[in-house]
Every structure is written in structure tokens, then in C-alpha cells.
Structure 1
Amino acid sequence: MDEKKQRLDEFLRSQEGFRTNAFNIIMKMLVWWKKTAGSRQFVDELLHSIFFLGNINIPPYPPEMIFPDEMLNALKKEYPQPFLLYSTHLPRRSPFSCVLDMIVLQKGQENENQIIQSLKALIKTLKPKFLVPSTICVSQKSVNAVRYYGVSMSTSGANPGKIMIAASCCNFWDDYVAGAVMTYYPKKVKNSYFDGTIKLPEDVRCEAFSLCKEERMPPCRSCGNLFGLRTTDTKEWAYGNCAEAESVSKLLKNEKNVKVQARPTSVTCTEENRQRAKNSVLKELKCVLCMVKFEKWDNHFYIPQTN
């Protein structure tokens, strides 16, 4: 019994990184919000996403465990919606995606090195594993064109990752990216009745970098399968987990000519089959939500407040 209690105590201590990182990320975003016009929605969405993940964590970390009372009350007054809806609405994306959008807004999309260094500087102040992405991806339709950024899923554990990928597929990513990911979700086995994979044009840049080391990250096999990126890597990560998904989604949402060229070509990529694949993703999502005891979901996704 003593051994079991010791293991439990050690596990609970190991999870404290979630609370610590949640507090530090939110505090940094609040500082940036004061200095960055038009950034309110990123803080609002970040709060909801972190509160949701805290709610399904083992052990749970509700907002009351993240902030002291005085700060909690001030945040509730300034940002009421995340507190009201984190136990009923699903986030559309993981928390660090909101951090990334804040930094891109601050620095300007053309200042790639500054954006990457700002992310690295923040991550260095955080504990590893919790709420922290490992990679960033930059996509451009051509040299000197607008840059579109994405980070890998900032979740820990299989179930939170599955939830965030499914939520992004259903309510956030460009439909081509969502379709490509749904082709392999959740078991990394290609769908037998629907192939929504795409191939980015040869002149499109889609380049990932480590946020922990000073190195470029070649595409993994998953990103090669999804987006037609050339790679010799054989590692298959969970489809949709990589930074490429968010980056390519932003590219396709904004560069219509690239989207036309990248369209899926399989005869199985019909609207009927796409809907069938989406229904399958939603069914899996609901199963995972039951597993993490998130049983109040009524198919609503959180929409951030802009004012």
C-alpha cells in the first residue's frame, strides 16, 4: 500500500508542470495583450483551451487551481466566456496556436526569425511536456510571399491529442487539410472508402523547425502521405499532430490558386464520402470524450470573443 501511495504521489507531482505552465503562459499572454492591438481573441481562446485541457487532465486542474483568488476574479470579469464554457464546449485548436498568432501579430509575418526566437524564448521558461509544442512550420506559395505559421499540437497524452486533432478537423482547419487528416484518423491506417490526401505544388515552401534545438525538421512520413511532401523519413506521427497541418491550412485558406493546384484527386473524394469520414471522426471524438469524463458536450465548439 505504501508503494502504491508513493507511486501516486510521484505521479501527481509529475503533473504539476501543467498548472505551472498554464499560469506562466497565460500571464505572458496577458502582458502581450496589453501591448498588442487586436489580440483580445487570442487570450480569450487560449484561456478556454487551457481550461478545457486542465479539466480533462489527470488530476484535473480547474481555473481555481491555476490562479490565486484575486487574479481569478479579475480574469472572470475581463474574460467571462472561457470560465462559463470550458466544461461544455470543445476548443477548436490547442493553446499554443493562440500564442503563435499573438506573436505573428506582434512581429509581422515577414519576420520569421523573430517569431521563432520569441517562441523559443517563451518555451525555455516552461517545464517540458505540458502545453508546449515541439516544432514550428512555415509555408509560402513562393519566395518572398506571405508566410503562414503553424505549431505542433501542444498536448500531452494520447487522448487530449486525439480530441484536439478531431476538433481541428471538424471546426478549424481548411477543408482540404481536414480531409487529408480524416483519411488516416485516428489509427494511422488509410481509410478504405475516402482518400482526401493532397499534393502541394513543387514551388510551395513548407519547412519545419525544432523549437527545442537549432535544426530544421524534415517532413515525417505522415506529412509526406498527407500533403505530398518529399521525405525519406519512415516515422509516422499521429496524423494532424505535426506543425505542417496548421501551417498548410492557413496557406490554403489564404492562397486560392495554391488550393486549386493542391486539390485531392482520388475518385473516392466525394462529398458523400467526406461526410461519412467526418461522421466517423465525430463518433471517435465522442468516444474519447467519454473516456476522459467530458460528458456534457452538445456538439458546440468554442468561438472566441473579440470584444
Structure 2
Amino acid sequence: MEAKEITKETKEEKRLKFLKEYKNLFIVTYGALFCQMTHYAMQSKLDKNEIYTYLDEARHAILFLGQINKPIVEPEEMSFGKFQSGNPDAFRTHVPRTTPYSILLEMVVRAEGPHNSDAIKKTLEVFAESILKQNKKMYFYATVVSKSDFNDIDHKGNPKKATPEPYWGASLSCSGRKVSQIMLALNCLFNWHEKIAEAVTFAQNNTEKGGILEFPRIVTSEAYKHEDFTLIAHPPCSKCVQVFASCTFKPTVEIPKNATWEFGNCAENESISKLLDGHPYLKNFVKYCAQATGEQMPKLKTDPMQILKELKWSGELIQFISAR
């Protein structure tokens, strides 16, 4: 009996196989995310206009990311159920302000109420189990969510008794070096508070410098990481501590984990940005550290349009705004 010939996959065959699996993972993950968003929204107490806006933004962000994915994911390969966008082709001409997961998180926080931490985390855990059950790879899903708040202060900086609502954010939930660079730049341009955008940009261009933004100790940031579909309290990484000097992190850690990812990836950027947006006067108590004082904030490390052109995307650097 002749022995069967065993052939090894060539590098090209392995590459093509990976790209096929990667594309399928994009379709499955984002398809499930939009489906779960739709189902959750319809069961919530959100009004129809709010639901439409969240779903329209998520759809646009997914299709935009599909156009700059490698390989490209075309609109007809995605399913959005019965949802109809008022501007269905805007993903070819306009950029999103943030990622699909961050939009999902905004919807959940709005529906559950920002103070209802347990309900928010439980909802996100249910989403994670449903969306990632077929494949636990989190290429297109946020690994960490963060909650930021502070003990309110008056115009003189004295603490008040009432505690304001917390603000939530997610880590950058996209995959691929160029795609991540683009989404970081778009968040800086269109989504994050100017102080956060400036701090992230400064950090990217001055990686060796210590602290950047000095927060009053009353600002607290608490992070949770997905571990087998459960959100577990997670300490800050070295880059969070570097950017947000003197911010009170929970849980505390003496020596933060050395982060290898780019500045701007962490959930704390989004949650603290929303905190500053929600309380504009608070920024008066946030100062640049000595390392950054007097230095002009540099331009974005990444020119998103340059990379978008390399990826054959022919739109403009104009933010998509949902409209019926």
C-alpha cells in the first residue's frame, strides 16, 4: 500500500489562508455586534431617533473599516438586517469618529444609566459571550473598558458633597497597524477632548518623557478587562500612568505593566475625555506637567489621509454625522 504524500503549506498558501480567516472573522464579529446592538436597542427604553443614530453610526464605521481592511470587505458581504441608512454610501466619502464597539458602549451606558455599573458590565459580558462565542479572538473587539469620575469641585477647587455621574470608554477595538493608526488619528481629530488628543499626540512624539497631563487626585479611573467573557478589575498600564499623571487609578498598582502598544489605545483615553467633555470647567484644574509645559503640542504623528490613500480609500477627512 503506497504511503500518502504529505505536502507542507507554502508561505503564500499560509498567507492566503490567514487572510481568508481574518476576513471571515471581520464579517462574523461585526455582523454579530450589529445584530446584538439592534436587538438590545429595540428592547431598551431609548427613543427611536437615538436608536437610529447609534445604529447608523455603527453601520457606517463597520463599512468604513471594511473598506480599509486587508482584504477589503464589501457592503454586500455584511448583513444589517432591516436597518436602512439615510446615507448608505457615506462610508466611501466620510470618516467615522470612533470604532463600532465604542458606539455600542455609548448606547449601553445611555440605556442603562452611567451610575448603573453592574448593569453596564453585565450587558457588556452578555454581548461578549454572544458575539465572540464562535471565536474568542478579539481582533475587532475592545479588550478593556474604563469608568472615570471625580469628586466634584467648585470654581475654587474645593470638593462638593455630590458625586457626578461616571463616564465610560473602551480600548481601541480594531486590528492591523495601519487601521489602528487611522482610528487613533480620527479619535484625536473628531472624538476626544482637545486635552486628551494633545496629550496622546505629545506622548506619541515624546515617548521617553515621564508625565504629561497632571490631574487633581479627585479624578478616578477604574478599568475592567474581558477575561473569558467576564469583566475583571484591571490595573493601569505604564502608558496610562505616563499620560495621566497623578490620576487615581483603581485597582492600584506599584509597578504598572510595561505596555508595548501605541499611546492612545487604552480605554482611559476615551473615558477621561468624556469626563472632561461633561464637565468643561474641570479642564481648568488639569495641567501639563513640567515635561510638556511651554512646548507646542505637535501635529498628529500619523497623517490619516496619507494612509487612507495608500489603502485606496478616496473619501475626504470629513466626519460622518447620522441624518435621516
Q: Same fold (TM over 0.5)?
A: yes
Aligned to 1:146: 165
8 Å contact kept, 2:150–2:164: yes
Query: How many positions carry a matched residue from both structures?
Result: 289
8 Å contact kept, 1:52–1:87: yes
Aligned to 2:296: 273
- Larger relative strand fraction: 2
Give the counterpart letter for 1:160 in structure 2: V
Instruction: After TM superposition, list the pairs within 5 Å mapping 1:25-36 onto structure 2.
Output: 25-35=33-43, 36=46
Q: Comparing 21-30 with 221-230, which one deviates more in the overlay?
A: 221-230
Displacement of 1:268 in angstroms is 5.6
1:104 counterpart (81, 103, 109): 109
Runs of 4+ in 1 over 3 A off after TM superposition: 265-270
- The whole-number CA distance in structure 1 between the counterparts of 2:305 and 2:138 is 25
Aligned to 1:199: 214
User: What's the % identity of the aligned pairs?
Assistant: 25
- The whole-number CA distance in structure 2 between the counterparts of 1:98 and 1:40 is 12
Displacement of 1:258 in angstroms is 2.6
Q: What secondary structure does 1:300 align onto?
A: coil
Instruction: After TM superposition, list the pairs within 5 Å mapping 1:155-174 onto structure 2.
Output: 155-174=174-193
- The whole-number CA distance in structure 1 between the counterparts of 2:94 and 2:290 is 34
CA-based RMSD = 2.6
Question: Which runs of no fewer than 5 residues in structure 1 stay unpaired?
Answer: none
Aligned to 2:63: 51
Query: In the superposition, relative to structure 1, how do residues 257 and 141 fare at CA in structure 2: closer, same or farther (>3 Å)?
Result: farther
Query: In the superposition, relative to structure 1, how do residues 66 and 204 fare at CA in structure 2: closer, same or farther (>3 Å)?
Result: same
- The whole-number CA distance in structure 1 between the counterparts of 2:95 and 2:288 is 28
Aligned to 1:221: 238
Q: Is 1:259 matched up with 2:283?
A: yes
- The whole-number CA distance in structure 2 between the counterparts of 1:267 and 1:25 is 41
Q: What secondary structure does 1:211 align onto?
A: strand
TM-score by length of 2: 0.81
8 Å contact kept, 1:49–1:91: yes
Displacement of 1:109 in angstroms is 0.9
Give CA-to-partner distance per residue, 1:191-212, whole Å, 9 cap, x none: 8xxx993122112211111123
2:142 counterpart (130, 133, 139): 133
8 Å contact kept, 2:212–2:291: no
Give CA-to-partner distance per residue, 1:135-182, whole Å, 9 cap, x none: 010011128430100010110111111111100101110011011001
- The whole-number CA distance in structure 1 between the counterparts of 2:194 and 2:292 is 15
Displacement of 1:46 in angstroms is 0.7
Question: Which runs of no fewer than 5 residues in structure 2 stay unpaired?
Answer: 1-7, 152-161
- The whole-number CA distance in structure 2 between the counterparts of 1:181 and 1:26 is 29
Displacement of 1:287 in angstroms is 2.9
- The whole-number CA distance in structure 1 between the counterparts of 2:65 and 2:216 is 36
Aligned to 2:21: 13
Q: Is 1:87 matched up with 2:107?
A: no
- The whole-number CA distance in structure 2 between the counterparts of 1:123 and 1:264 is 37
TM-score by length of 1: 0.85
- The whole-number CA distance in structure 2 between the counterparts of 1:18 and 1:118 is 22
- The whole-number CA distance in structure 2 between the counterparts of 1:252 and 1:162 is 24
Give CA-to-partner distance per residue, 1:208-231, whole Å, 9 cap, x none: 111235532111111111111465
